[in-house]
């Protein structure tokens, strides 16, 4: 909290000033009401001049609390358009969103809220107002306003007790401080996320430019994540500083980079300098975390190629915990008094135990002198008279010099033994033991860890911070640190620096991440334990200056480890790295903290007091004090060569000038490393300030360059010069003397070698290409042949469908299929049979075999045969590929046709299926071994699939033809029977009349007369003349003769009529017999005769349905040489369809018109009716198979008629004006046709 308050104390005047500036920028507010001088709004308040404010006007303002944080002493009030800042001290507990009434009087207060005598009353609790939506570039125009923006998080940290973010967008960054409690999630999860922020624009603008961009956010609820982050800082790979600075600039600079190194210098909350074995880099940080020089850190940041030096912006750091971890205290064991474990009472006994035993937690109760106690840092050491042990202390009453009893559990923590947790009981006061004299070499191995020792040396650094005094003491063997607790002063005691002292304290071993000793710290209980042996010089700058070349050389009159004074001219000053000084004897590197020597410029003559330390090749000065004497010019550079630098080694830290050739192209990076060669020596150069000019990046290797800069030498193991580097102070230190020729001898040789190599490679490639071309040509030809075969197969299959559509019988289809199979696959014999599942018999269609060297169709003895074994396999199991060996041919099944003595060696058998029903089998066979393969089987199966549809169509066609024939026969039979029936009625009447006449004849009476005459034969004359009955016989016979004669005439007439009727019946039957001749016979028939015959065949039905027939025949009609049967079939169908159409129309005036027109080479016969007509959408389908407009129609008559017309070389067309308009069918026939 200390940091938060002190940080905001610095920001508070700036924020208040920003608010005032914002008020003035927003323009004058509306004038104060003339009726009242009470100030009621921020607009009025900020529009008053200083003199008006000094009048002490009354003010009552109802304002909304926008941001409140008592710990940071800040309060922002206002609304979207105007805000004000004031201290919340004494105003009570406020919450963001509260509406508060402020009452007071105006006052001219510099950099503060211009109201005094404030009284505050909360009106009501509410919510925050809506914010003005802005983008990052709008920050300069909205200073002091309540705003909302979206940006991507670059940095998130909490070192000040509040969440601090650095966000960026559109090339601009802004710092965001979030008041209130910290969020529950890890703040690093924000990094990389796109967030929406609502807060007060606390930015500072000066001269129309934004000098500081920042937002104050009330709490974390005003942050909302728009797009979560996919970035994990722990997964960003570590880069060396050298690799980072020499990496070519690009979009990667918008993402964080990760480096690992040791702290070189730091200013908390502002700047950090990190170094690794490859270089040094600055980082701009927000974290206020204290770090010491030498601490190892992991650091993430965004590389910016700044004007002076590259820097990592928006950096975040953590302590490097790789290779080790925090040692946790063991779980508390049983109470020391329960007797379950042995209690150790001496440190010596603990030291004899194994590490595993101690790590498990050993109960201890040790009495001894308290050597050191620091409750604030939880650090104490207890000495039992022979040895000491570290213990954690939290009791404030415990202090050094007391005799205490320590209880707790011993474990391993840090480097040695520790008692965690520990409880101290003060038993009294005692004297500290006598220290063990020791030097750095004796304590470096850790053997004196936690022992009370005395060490001597020269104080080289003294710092007072965090209530402790920190000393760094230099000895001949190196330096050690000293910590004195309870130091209440802000600065170290005067005269301590550079004095020779004897320090008594507890020896502590500083360890690295692997628990290895990396340094020594003496924990001295008080400043009384630091004894001055030789005071520091009172006027150190009064002493004569030591030549730079004499620093760190043997001098009996100089105190070892003490400060030395050097004087010279500054040749280079690099912030974070130090400055370089040069006198007549040589040059030296002075390591300076970040905040020291910032105003020193090259050419300044200075005096420096510092402690010598070992550098990479030559000594350097640390902990310097700089006295700027006067301003001057840098010394002239020494002209030299690379070989002289490495040969003599005397140019270390001095300005030099040399010429060298550039070896590699210049990288476009933040701090590119230039590589040069002079003679046999290769060295590097680097610009330490600014950026390389654009023309330098275009220098080509081989360019001769003059370099002017500071020489730094790197030594070998024997400290001899091994390599060096030139630090270029500014771009003027690089000058191009000679550009390389376009073509050098080396390049010519390289080019010749390349051309030779290319030539040989080309020849080899040509030879190889020729071989590949030959092989490729062969492959291409093979591919072309394969493609040709595939094209032929494709063409054959495409033609197959057209040809199969023309097949009228199964044999036609079989001939087409086996022909295509021969072209695609080849065969010696073939089988094509139809199969009936109902009878389980095969019906012969086509068998072919090679007989006497020729393919011959072989007719079987029987049309229907049982299913063979091979055919059965194909029907049940599907397509069969049978490849026989020569040894199997003797017992193999042969074909039952052709040359039955031969056996097929290669057989393909496939079923012909209509869906899942087998309707036939197809087989091709070869007498050659292995003539077929699986591909041939697939091809034959495809042919069978093509054929199946055709067979189904042919079967349906045959069934429809038979149905049509039967239907036609029924219609004809009906007409014939009707005509014959009419005649038979007359025959029946005649026969009845004849029977009746025969029944009514006088034959019986004549028999009686005959009998009477036979009785009187002896006296016939007397009987006739005398007998009364006899006398009547002649008259009776005369009358009977007349009756018989009359009856005979009428009977003869009836018999003649009966004969005529019988002849009529004979004519009807003869005519029908003449129509029933075999079709396909071509004969010459007059055109009108066709029509009349068709009309006669349908005369009965037309008469019964009362259809009027009209004839319109052209004169001189020719005869047609054509198949009469097919023509009659077509015309009969048309006349019947006309009759049906007239019946369905419901008309009383049913009319059928038949016309014949003579064309040039054809005859046109039209059949028209006044029936129901044909819809337009049906005209295009009227001749399609299966299409009919009648409910009981089968859709075959017109289809078969159109096919018959086509077979006769003619056409059949239809025309109708629509439903109810009748229809006309026209048959065009050629005068002659060759079938």
* Dihedral pair phi/psi, residue 944, rounded to 5°: -65, -40
The secondary structure of residue 27, as a DSSP letter, is -
Q: What is the pLDDT of residues 925-975, one digit of tens each?
A: 998 888 899 989 998 998 888 888 888 888 887 777 777 667 666 666 665
Confidence of residue 709 (pLDDT cuts 50, 70, 90): very high
pLDDT (0 to 100) of residue 1:
31
- The encoded tokens of residue 796 equal 């054959």
What integer is the mean pLDDT of 833-841? 90
**Cα 743 to Cα 765: distance, rounded to the nearest angstrom:** 29
Residues of the chain with pLDDT > 90: what percent? 20
First to last CA, the chain: 117
Give the torsion through C-alpha atoms of 599, 601, 603, 609, to 10 deg.
Answer: 50
Per-residue b or e along 470-492, where b marks 16 or more CB atoms closer than 10 Å to that residue's CB:
bbbbbbeebbbbbbbbbbeeeeb
pLDDT (0 to 100) of residue 981:
62
Instruction: Give yes or no for a contact between 310 and 281, defined as CB atoms under 8 angstroms apart.
Output: yes
- Residues ≥6 apart with Cβ < 8 Å to 43: 23, 26, 29, 30, 81, 82
pLDDT (0 to 100) of residue 314:
93
- Three-class DSSP category at 863: coil
**Cα 1119 to Cα 1158: distance, rounded to the nearest angstrom:** 11
Asked whether residue 1234 carries a pLDDT value surpassing 80, the answer given is: no
- Residues ≥6 apart with Cβ < 8 Å to 479: 440, 457, 460, 472, 473
**Beta strands, E only, 500-558:** 500-511, 517-523, 530-534
**Beta strands, E only, 812-905:** 829-836, 841-851, 854-857, 864-866, 880-883
- The encoded tokens of residue 793 equal 């197969």
Burial of 1114 per CB tally in 10 Å (0-12, 13-18, 19+): middle
Instruction: Give yes or no for a contact between 904 and 926, defined as CB atoms under 8 angstroms apart.
Output: yes
Asked whether residue 795 carries a pLDDT value surpassing 50, the answer given is: yes
Instruction: Give yes or no for a contact between 1130 and 1212, defined as CB atoms under 8 angstroms apart.
Output: yes
Asked whether residue 1058 carries a pLDDT value surpassing 80, the answer given is: no
Instruction: Give yes or no for a contact between 720 and 645, defined as CB atoms under 8 angstroms apart.
Output: no
Confidence of residue 504 (pLDDT cuts 50, 70, 90): very high
Mean pLDDT of the chain: 82
**Cα 1216 to Cα 1167: distance, rounded to the nearest angstrom:** 12
Confidence of residue 561 (pLDDT cuts 50, 70, 90): low
Burial of 1045 per CB tally in 10 Å (0-12, 13-18, 19+): exposed
pLDDT (0 to 100) of residue 705:
94
Asked whether residue 1075 carries a pLDDT value surpassing 70, the answer given is: no
**Cα 714 to Cα 229: distance, rounded to the nearest angstrom:** 44
Q: How far is CA 656 from CA 240, 682, 720, in A?
A: 28, 16, 19
Asked whether residue 24 carries a pLDDT value surpassing 50, the answer given is: no
Alpha carbon 622 to its chain's center? 56
pLDDT (0 to 100) of residue 10:
40
Which ranges constitute the DSSP H helices of 1076-1147? 1087-1097, 1099-1104, 1124-1145
Q: What is the pLDDT of residues 229-267, one digit of tens each?
A: 999 888 899 999 888 888 888 888 889 999 999 988 888
Confidence of residue 36 (pLDDT cuts 50, 70, 90): low
Q: What is the pLDDT of residues 375-392, one digit of tens each?
A: 888 888 988 888 888 888
The secondary structure of residue 901, as a DSSP letter, is T
The secondary structure of residue 535, as a DSSP letter, is P
Cβ count within 10 A of residue 742: 7
pLDDT (0 to 100) of residue 22:
38
Instruction: Give yes or no for a contact between 83 and 141, defined as CB atoms under 8 angstroms apart.
Output: no
pLDDT (0 to 100) of residue 330:
35
**Cα 448 to Cα 481: distance, rounded to the nearest angstrom:** 15
The CB-side HSE value for 164 (13 A sphere, CA atoms) comes to 19
pLDDT (0 to 100) of residue 134:
93
**Cα 667 to Cα 669: distance, rounded to the nearest angstrom:** 6
pLDDT (0 to 100) of residue 192:
92
CA torsion sign, 396 to 397 to 399 to 404? negative
**Beta strands, E only, 679-791:** 681-687, 704-715, 721-728, 734-738
| 779/469: higher pLDDT | 469
Q: What is the pLDDT of residues 1022-1053, one digit of tens each?
A: 877 787 877 777 877 777 788 778 877 777 77
**Cα 1178 to Cα 574: distance, rounded to the nearest angstrom:** 99
pLDDT (0 to 100) of residue 175:
95
Rounded to two decimals, the pTM is 0.46
Q: How far is CA 1228 from CA 101, 1159, 1199, in A?
A: 110, 9, 16
Residues of the chain with pLDDT > 70: what percent? 88
- Residues ≥6 apart with Cβ < 8 Å to 318: 297, 298
pLDDT (0 to 100) of residue 745:
72
Burial of 1137 per CB tally in 10 Å (0-12, 13-18, 19+): buried
pLDDT (0 to 100) of residue 338:
43
pLDDT (0 to 100) of residue 20:
39
- The encoded tokens of residue 501 equal 């002292």
**Cα 45 to Cα 61: distance, rounded to the nearest angstrom:** 9
- Residues ≥6 apart with Cβ < 8 Å to 959: none
Instruction: Give yes or no for a contact between 919 and 948, defined as CB atoms under 8 angstroms apart.
Output: yes
**Cα 147 to Cα 132: distance, rounded to the nearest angstrom:** 5
Q: Which residues pair with 209 in a beta bridge?
A: 206
pLDDT (0 to 100) of residue 1068:
63
What integer is the mean pLDDT of 1137-1152? 89
Q: What is the pLDDT of residues 140-195, one digit of tens each?
A: 989 889 999 999 999 999 988 899 999 999 889 999 999 988 887 788 889 999 99
pLDDT (0 to 100) of residue 90:
76
Q: Which residues pair with 424 in a beta bridge?
A: 406
- Residues ≥6 apart with Cβ < 8 Å to 1230: 1120, 1122, 1161, 1162, 1208, 1209, 1210
Instruction: Give yes or no for a contact between 274 and 263, defined as CB atoms under 8 angstroms apart.
Output: yes
Cβ count within 10 A of residue 1016: 16
| 863/678: higher pLDDT | 678
Count of helices and strands (H, E) across the chain: 20, 57
| 711/447: higher pLDDT | 711
For helices 745-805 and 810-824, give the axis angle rounded to 10 degrees: 160
What integer is the mean pLDDT of 303-312? 79
**Cα 398 to Cα 646: distance, rounded to the nearest angstrom:** 61
**Cα 1208 to Cα 872: distance, rounded to the nearest angstrom:** 43
Q: Which of 187-191, 653-657, 821-825, 858-862 has the lowest mean pLDDT?
A: 858-862
Instruction: Give yes or no for a contact between 878 and 912, defined as CB atoms under 8 angstroms apart.
Output: no
**Beta strands, E only, 931-1086:** 1082-1086
DSSP code string of 329-393: PPPP-S-TTSSSSPPB--HHHHHTS-HHHHHT-EEEEEEEEEEEEETTTTEEEEE-SS-EEEE--
Asked whether residue 225 carries a pLDDT value surpassing 90, the answer given is: yes
Confidence of residue 482 (pLDDT cuts 50, 70, 90): very high
Query: Best-predicted range by mean pLDDT among 106-120, 151-165, 420-434, 560-574?
Result: 151-165
**Cα 90 to Cα 80: distance, rounded to the nearest angstrom:** 26
């Amino acid at each position: 909290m200390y940091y938060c308050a002190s940080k905001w104390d610095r920001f508070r005047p700036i924020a208040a000033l920003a608010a005032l500036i914002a008020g003035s920028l927003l323009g004058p507010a509306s004038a104060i009401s003339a009726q009242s001088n009470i100030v009621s709004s921020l607009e009025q308040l900020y529009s008053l001049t200083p003199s008006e404010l000094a009048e002490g006007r009354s003010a009552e303002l109802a304002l909304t609390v926008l941001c409140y944080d008592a710990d940071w002493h800040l309060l922002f009030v206002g609304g979207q358009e105007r805000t004000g800042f004031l201290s919340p001290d004494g105003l009570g507990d406020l919450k963001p969103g509260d509406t508060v009434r402020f009452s007071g009087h105006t006052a001219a207060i510099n950099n503060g809220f211009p109201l005094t005598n404030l009284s505050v009353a909360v009106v009501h609790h509410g919510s925050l107002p809506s914010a003005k939506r802005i983008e990052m570039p709008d920050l300069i125009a909205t200073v002091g306003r309540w705003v909302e923006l979206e940006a991507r998080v670059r940095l998130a940290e909490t070192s000040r007790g509040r969440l601090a973010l650095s966000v960026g967008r559109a090339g601009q960054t802004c710092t965001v401080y979030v008041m209130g409690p910290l969020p529950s999630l890890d703040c690093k999860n924000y990094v990389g996320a796109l967030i929406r922020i609502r807060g007060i624009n606390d930015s500072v603008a000066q001269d129309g430019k934004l000098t500081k961009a920042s937002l104050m956010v009330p709490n974390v609820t005003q942050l909302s994540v728009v797009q979560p982050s996919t970035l994990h800082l722990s997964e960003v790979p570590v880069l060396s500083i050298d690799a980072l600075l020499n990496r070519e600039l690009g979009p990667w600079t918008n993402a964080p980079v990760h480096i690992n190194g040791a702290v070189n210098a730091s200013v908390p909350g502002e700047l950090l300098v990190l170094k690794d074995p490859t270089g040094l880099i600055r980082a701009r940080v927000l974290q206020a975390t204290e770090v010491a020089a030498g601490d190892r850190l992991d650091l993430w940041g965004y590389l910016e190629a700044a004007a002076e030096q590259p820097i990592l912006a928006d950096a975040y750091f953590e302590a490097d915990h790789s290779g080790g971890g925090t040692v946790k205290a063991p779980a508390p064991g049983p109470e020391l008094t329960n007797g379950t474990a042995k209690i150790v009472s001496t440190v010596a006994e603990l030291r004899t135990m194994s590490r595993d035993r101690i790590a498990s937690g050993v109960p201890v109760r040790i009495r001894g002198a308290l050597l050191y106690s620091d409750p604030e840092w939880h650090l104490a050491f207890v000495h039992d008279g022979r040895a000491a042990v570290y213990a954690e202390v939290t009791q404030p009453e415990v202090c050094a010099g007391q005799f205490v009893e320590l209880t707790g559990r011993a474990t391993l923590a840090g480097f040695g033994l520790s008692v965690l947790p520990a409880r101290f009981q003060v038993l009294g006061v005692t004297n500290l033991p006598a220290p063990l004299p020791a030097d750095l070499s004796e304590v470096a191995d850790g053997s004196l860890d936690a022992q009370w020792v005395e060490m001597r040396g020269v104080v080289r650094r003294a710092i007072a911070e965090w209530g402790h005094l920190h000393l760094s003491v230099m000895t001949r063997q190196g330096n050690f640190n000293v910590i004195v607790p309870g130091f209440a002063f802000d600065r170290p005691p005067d005269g301590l620096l550079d004095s020779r002292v004897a320090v008594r304290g507890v020896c502590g071993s500083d360890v690295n991440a692997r628990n290895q000793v990396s340094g020594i710290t003496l924990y001295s209980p008080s400043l009384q334990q630091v004894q001055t042996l030789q005071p520091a010089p009172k006027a150190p700058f009064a002493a004569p200056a030591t030549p730079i070349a004499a620093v760190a050389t043997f001098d009996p009159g100089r105190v070892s480890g003490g400060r030395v004074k050097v004087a010279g001219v500054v040749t280079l000053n690099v912030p974070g790295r130090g400055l370089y000084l040069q006198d007549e004897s040589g040059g030296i590197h002075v390591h300076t903290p970040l905040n020291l020597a910032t105003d020193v410029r090259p050419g300044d003559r200075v005096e420096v007091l510092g402690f010598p330390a070992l550098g990479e090749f030559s000594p350097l000065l640390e902990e310097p004090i700089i006295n700027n004497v006067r301003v001057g010019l840098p010394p002239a550079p020494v002209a030299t060569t690379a070989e002289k630098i490495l040969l003599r080694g005397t140019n270390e830290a001095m300005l030099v000038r040399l010429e060298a050739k550039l070896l590699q192209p210049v990288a476009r990076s933040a701090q590119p490393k230039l590589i040069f060669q002079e003679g046999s020596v290769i060295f590097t150069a680097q610009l330490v300030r600014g950026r390389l000019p654009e023309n330098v990046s275009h220098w080509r290797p081989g360019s001769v360059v003059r370099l002017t800069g500071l020489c730094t030498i790197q030594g070998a193991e024997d400290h001899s010069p091994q390599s060096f580097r030139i630090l270029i102070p500014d771009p003027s230190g690089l000058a191009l003397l000679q550009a390389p020729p376009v073509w050098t001898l080396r390049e010519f040789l390289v080019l010749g070698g390349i051309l030779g190599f290319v030539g040989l490679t080309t020849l080899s490639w040509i030879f190889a290409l020729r071989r590949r071309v030959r092989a490729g040509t062969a492959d291409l030809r093979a591919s072309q042949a394969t493609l040709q075969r595939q094209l032929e197969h494709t063409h054959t299959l495409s033609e197959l469908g057209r040809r199969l559509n023309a097949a009228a019988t199964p044999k036609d289809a079989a001939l087409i299929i086996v022909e295509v199979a021969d072209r695609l696959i080849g065969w010696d014999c073939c089988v094509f049979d139809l199969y009936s599942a109902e009878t389980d018999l095969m019906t012969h269609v086509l068998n072919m075999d090679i007989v006497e060297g020729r393919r011959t169709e072989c007719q079987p003895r029987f049309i229907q045969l049982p299913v063979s074994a091979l055919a059965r396999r194909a029907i049940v199991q599907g397509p069969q590929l049978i490849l026989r060996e020569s040894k199997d041919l003797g017992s193999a099944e042969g074909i039952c046709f052709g040359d039955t003595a031969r056996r097929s060696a290669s057989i393909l058998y496939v079923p012909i299926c209509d869906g899942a029903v087998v309707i036939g089998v197809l087989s091709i066979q070869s007498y050659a071994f292995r003539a077929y393969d699986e591909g041939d089987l697939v091809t034959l199966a495809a042919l069978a699939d093509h054929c199946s549809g055709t067979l189904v169509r042919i079967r349906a066609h045959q069934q429809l033809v038979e149905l049509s024939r039967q239907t036609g026969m029924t219609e004809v039979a009906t007409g014939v029977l009707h005509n014959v029936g009419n005649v038979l009625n007359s025959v029946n009447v005649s026969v009845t009349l004849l029977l009746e006449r025969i029944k009514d004849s006088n034959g019986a009476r004549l028999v009686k007369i005959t009998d009477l005459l036979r009785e009187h034969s002896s006296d016939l004359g007397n009987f006739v003349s005398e007998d009364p009955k006899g006398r009547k016989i002649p008259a009776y016979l005369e009358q009977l003769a007349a009756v018989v004669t009359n009856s005979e005439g009428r009977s003869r007439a009836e018999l003649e009529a009966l004969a005529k009727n019988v002849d009529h019946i004979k004519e009807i039957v003869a005519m029908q017999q003449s129509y029933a001749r075999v079709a396909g016979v071509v004969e010459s028939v007059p055109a009108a005769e066709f029509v009349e015959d068709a009309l006669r065949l349908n005369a009965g039905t037309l008469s019964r349905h009362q259809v009027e027939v009209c004839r319109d025949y052209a004169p001189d009609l020719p005869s047609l040489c054509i198949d009469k049967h097919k023509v009659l079939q077509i015309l009969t169908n048309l006349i019947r369809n006309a009759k049906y159409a007239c019946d369905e129309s419901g008309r009383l005036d049913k009319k059928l018109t038949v016309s014949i027109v003579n064309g040039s080479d054809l005859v046109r016969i039209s059949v028209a009716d006044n029936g129901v007509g044909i819809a337009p959408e049906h005209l295009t389908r009227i001749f399609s198979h299966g299409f009919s407009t009648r409910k009981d129609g089968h859709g075959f008559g017109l289809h078969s008629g159109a096919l018959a017309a086509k077979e006769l070389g003619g056409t059949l067309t239809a025309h109708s004006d629509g439903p109810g308009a009748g229809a006309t069918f026209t048959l065009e026939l050629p005068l002659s046709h060759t079938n």
